[in-house]
């Protein structure tokens, strides 16, 4: 197996694409990431990745790293970075909110434009990272295309209603397992973790109200950037108005693709929500559902399908 050639802070891959450390400042914090450049540095378009709420620039099971390398091989310059308080970036994790993530994304865009001289940037977001992209669009006039993976509507991103939907999904799964003789045999042998099953099924009853910090942080009046006053405008506090307010940032001249896994318990209502909005507002949106795939597209086959969908969309 041919190993990448390591040159100080830069890696040259066997296909001659490269990966180098990319750092910039947002709200007086140094954020760190990796810039992927295609062979010979001849990129056709620039793309910035926005990872999920509790993740980092690699993504679950290196999903974002894998996608970035594939896109670089295809001729795209890709920046994936850690939001403040995540991964190798500076900042306290408990102070991270969707507002600070929005500030970080804007800073990343300015830094990449300065570094590459690009005028347009496409954005790829996973889960909450995709929500951040949509919510920040007014501050991203350079946005060219959006690639949104496993993204849910703003208002029910962490609500009791969505958690109950998950409970129904897992209750159906556990009921089917309970009808199998081998499940009862495992139960007698003590191989079934009842505590874990109860946690999955009853967890939503104990989670209500625990995610407010995710919306606006700790409410510190000294927080720089967008400011706490933006919460009424850009937060997800208002379950009735927030979704439509944020989605109005989407434009008829901004192509976007939504990709879901059919086995994701929240995918069907989320896709329906965005599809209806796109149709009502005549948005150039493409929707794809990968058969059998989960939220993070964790199998090799699902990732191959995902890569093909994204490349087809970008190159059309």
Residues 286, 258: contact at Cβ < 8 Å? Answer: yes
Model confidence, pTM: 0.75
Instruction: Write out pLDDT tens, residues 216-268.
Output: 444 443 333 333 333 333 333 333 344 567 888 999 999 999 999 999 988 99
Q: Which of 174-178, 198-202, 228-232 has the highest mean pLDDT?
A: 174-178
Helix axes of 160-178 and 194-207: crossing angle, nearest 10 degrees: 160
The whole-chain average pLDDT of the chain stands at 81
Instruction: Write out pLDDT tens, residues 40-72.
Output: 778 999 999 999 999 999 999 999 999 999 999
Mind giving me the DSSP string for 14-48?
TTS-EEEEEEEEETTEEEEEEEEE-GGG--SEEEE
Question: Which H/E stretch holds residue 289?
Answer: strand 285-290
Answer CATH for 5-158+235-315 from 1.10.540.10, 3.40.50.1820, 3.60.15.10, 3.50.50.60: 3.40.50.1820
Phi, psi dihedrals of residue 174, rounded to the nearest 5°: -65, -35
Residue 175's pLDDT band (cuts 50, 70, 90): low
Question: What is the predicted pLDDT for the residue at 98?
Answer: 87
- Alpha carbon distance, N-terminus to C-terminus of the chain: 34
Mean pLDDT of 204-225: 44
Domain ranges of the chain: 5-158+235-315, 161-207
Percent of the chain with pLDDT over 70: 72
- Three state DSSP letters for 206-257: HHCCCCHHHHHCCCCCCCCCCCHHHHHHHCCCCCCCHHHHHHCCCCCCCCEE
| Cβ neighbours around 43 below 10 Å, total | 20
The yes-or-no verdict on residue 208 having pLDDT over 50 is no
């Amino acid at each position: 197996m041919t190993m990448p050639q390591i040159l100080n802070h830069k890696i040259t891959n066997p296909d001659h694409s490269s990966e180098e450390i990319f750092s910039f400042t947002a709200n007086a914090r140094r954020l760190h990431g990796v810039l992927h450049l295609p062979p010979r540095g001849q990129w056709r378009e620039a793309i910035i990745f926005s990872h999920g709420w509790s993740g980092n620039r690699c993504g679950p099971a290196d999903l974002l790293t894998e996608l970035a390398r594939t896109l670089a091989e295809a001729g795209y310059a890709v920046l994936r970075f850690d939001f403040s308080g995540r991964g190798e970036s500076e900042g306290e994790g408990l102070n991270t909110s969707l507002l600070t993530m929005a500030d970080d994304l804007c800073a990343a865009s300015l830094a990449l434009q300065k570094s590459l001289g690009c005028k347009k940037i496409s954005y790829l977001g996973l889960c909450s990272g995709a929500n951040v992209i949509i919510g920040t669009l007014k501050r991203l006039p350079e946005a060219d295309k959006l690639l949104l993976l496993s993204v849910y509507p703003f208002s029910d991103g962490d609500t009791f209603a969505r958690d109950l939907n998950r409970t129904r999904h897992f209750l159906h799964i556990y009921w089917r397992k309970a009808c199998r003789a081998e499940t009862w045999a495992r139960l007698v042998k003590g191989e079934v973790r009842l505590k874990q099953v109860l946690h999955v099924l009853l967890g939503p009853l104990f989670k209500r109200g625990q995610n407010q910090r995710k919306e606006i942080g700790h409410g510190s009046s000294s927080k720089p950037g967008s400011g706490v006053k933006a919460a009424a405008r850009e937060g997800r506090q208002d379950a009735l108005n927030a979704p439509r307010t944020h989605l109005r940032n989407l434009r008829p001249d901004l192509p976007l693709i939504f990709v879901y896994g059919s086995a994701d318990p929240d995918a069907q209502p989320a896709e329906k929500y965005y599809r209806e909005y796109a149709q009502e507002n005549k948005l150039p949106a493409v929707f794809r559902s990968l058969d059998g795939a989960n939220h993070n597209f964790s199998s090799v086959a699902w990732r191959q399908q995902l890569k093909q969908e994204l490349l087809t969309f970008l190159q059309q």
